[in-house]
């Protein structure tokens, strides 16, 4: 049997609650399928670890992480640590250095779930958002001078490279080409952002010539929000910069019912580093500790992990289990149900055991 080494990093808040669920579902799948094995190693990184050691990741943290076949990540961020410290300490300290430059965020309505917008039909929302995940607005460069004075100046530098744009656009065209509709929308803001985004549009045109069978168009990010709400059926694969797609992916998840279901895969397409799978949502201060978080985002991310590892049959089993729970209303409150995290996990496992 194939054996996969999984680094399991639950992190903070509901991150830990939903990862516990995802691991239980993965275990059920492993037992049911019987033809692969998952070796989990718990990685304790998160805010508690930071408070103990003074760092979110130890100095050799990235080397430790590189030894795994994949990472399953929950969320990071707690009310008593500035978000910029926790996020740059852990999550963003992994995505960039591990060159997980493609962030895949599929969005669709699960069975019998209705979109948040009245005019949309469930089948209208079936998208793959491709987010540039290593540079752009998240380059992490900038600074502040004269902190606190009225004449303080702060800069936040966005860095776009031709290499970075080309590789993510190519990746997005490949995803679009592999989907039935072969449809790609390239998002930018090349009217106001006149350097990086103009280059981005130019590179899109160049790369498009390698994919004559893909139908593609361009959208400015502001107008894109409107199109997602009013004409969801005209969209399929969507690609954009780090910040633009961060925002559009929360919107997309909300349109498909709830941020609680949204999965993501931080992928190094070269496979030199492990890829990392995590729900799109954060640690959810308002509901953490209550045991009511929707585990679907983490569970769907686990399904993406299995797909990525080459266990597509097992991944599909998890997707089917989520669909069947939705169909019979065995969901958390954000999807209209009345179950808690543990009960939904049980329902998912029951569905898997029945296959």
* 74 lies in the site for ligand IPM, by CB under 6 A: no
Query: What's the min distance (Å) between Cβ of 328 and ligand IPM?
Result: 30
* 260 lies in the site for ligand IPM, by CB under 6 A: no
Point out which span in 39-47, 85-93, 106-114, 181-189 binds ligand IPM (CB under 6 A). 85-93
* 91 lies in the site for ligand IPM, by CB under 6 A: yes
Q: Considering beta carbons, is residue 38 or 280 the nearer one to ligand IPM? A: 280
Q: Considering beta carbons, is residue 46 or 164 the nearer one to ligand NAD? A: 46
- Residue numbers 262-281 binding ligand IPM by CB under 6 A: 280
Q: Considering beta carbons, is residue 79 or 143 the nearer one to ligand NAD? A: 79
* 132 lies in the site for ligand IPM, by CB under 6 A: no
What is the 3-state secondary structure of the chain?
CEEEEEEEEEECCHHHHHHHHHHHHHHHHHHHHCCEEEEEEECCCCHHHHHHHCCCCCCCHHHHHHCCCEEEEEECCCCCCCHHHHHHHCHHHHHCCCCCCEEEEEEECCCCCCCCCCCCCHHHCEEEEEEECCCEEEEEEEEEECCCCCCCEEEEEEECCHHHHHHHHHHHHHHHHHCCCCEEEEEECCCCCCCHHHHHHHHHHHHHCCCCCCEEEEEEHHHHHHHHHHCHHHCCEEEECHHHHHHHHHHHHHHCCCHHHCEEEEECCCCCCCEEEEECCCCCCCCCCCCCCCCHHHHHHHHHHHHHHCCHHHHHHHHHHHHHHHHCCCCCHHHCCCCCHHHHHHHHHHHHHCC
Q: Considering beta carbons, is residue 206 or 323 the nearer one to ligand NAD? A: 323
- Residue numbers 196-255 binding ligand IPM by CB under 6 A: 246
Q: Considering beta carbons, is residue 108 or 281 the nearer one to ligand NAD? A: 281
Which residues make up the interface to ligand NAD (CB under 6 A)? 14, 18, 75-77, 83, 87, 91, 259-260, 278, 281-287, 293-294, 297, 334
Report what 293 binds from ligand NAD, Mn ion, ligand IPM, none; CB cut-off 5-8 Å by kind.
ligand NAD
Q: Considering beta carbons, is residue 287 or 314 the nearer one to ligand NAD? A: 287
Which residues make up the interface to Mn ion (CB under 5 A)? 246
Interface ranges with ligand IPM (CB under 6 A): 87, 91-92, 246, 280, 282
């Amino acid at each position: 049997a194939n054996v996969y080494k999984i680094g399991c990093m639950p992190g903070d808040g509901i991150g830990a609650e939903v990862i516990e669920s995802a691991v239980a579902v993965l275990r059920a799948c492993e037992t049911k399928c019987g033809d692969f094995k998952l070796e989990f190693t718990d990685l304790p990184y998160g805010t508690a670890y930071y408070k103990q050691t003074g760092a979110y990741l130890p100095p050799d943290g990235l080397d430790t992480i590189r030894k795994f076949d994949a990472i399953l990540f929950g969320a990071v961020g707690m009310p008593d640590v500035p978000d910029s410290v926790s996020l740059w300490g852990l999550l963003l300290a992994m995505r960039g250095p591990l060159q997980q430059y493609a962030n895949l965020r599929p969005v669709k309505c699960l069975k019998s779930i209705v979109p948040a917008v009245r005019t949309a039909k469930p089948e209208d929302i079936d998208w793959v958002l491709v987010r540039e995940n290593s540079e752009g607005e998240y380059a992490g460069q900038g600074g502040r001078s004269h902190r606190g004075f009225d004449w303080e100046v702060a800069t936040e530098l966005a860095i776009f490279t031709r290499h970075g744009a080309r590789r993510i656009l190519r990746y997005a065209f490949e995803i679009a080409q592999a989907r039935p509709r072969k449809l790609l929308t390239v998002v930018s803001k090349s009217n106001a952002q006149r350097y990086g985004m103009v280059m981005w549009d130019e590179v899109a045109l160049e790369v498009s010539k390698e994919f004559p069978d893909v139908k593609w168009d361009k959208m400015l990010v502001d107008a894109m929000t409107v199109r997602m709400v009013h004409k969801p059926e005209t969209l399929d694969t969507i690609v954009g910069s780090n910040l633009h797609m961060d925002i559009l992916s929360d919107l997309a998840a909300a349109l498909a019912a709830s941020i609680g279901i949204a999965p993501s895969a931080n992928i190094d397409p070269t496979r030199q580093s492990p890829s990392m799978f995590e729900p799109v949502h954060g640690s959810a201060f308002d509901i953490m500790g209550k045991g009511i978080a929707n585990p679907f985002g983490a569970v769907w991310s686990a399904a993406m992990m299995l797909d990525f590892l080459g266990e597509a049959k097992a991944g599909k089993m998890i997707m089917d289990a989520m669909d069947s729970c939705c169909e019979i209303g065995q969901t958390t409150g954000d999807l209209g149900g009345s179950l808690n995290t543990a009960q939904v996990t049980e329902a998912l496992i029951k569905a898997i055991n029945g296959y």
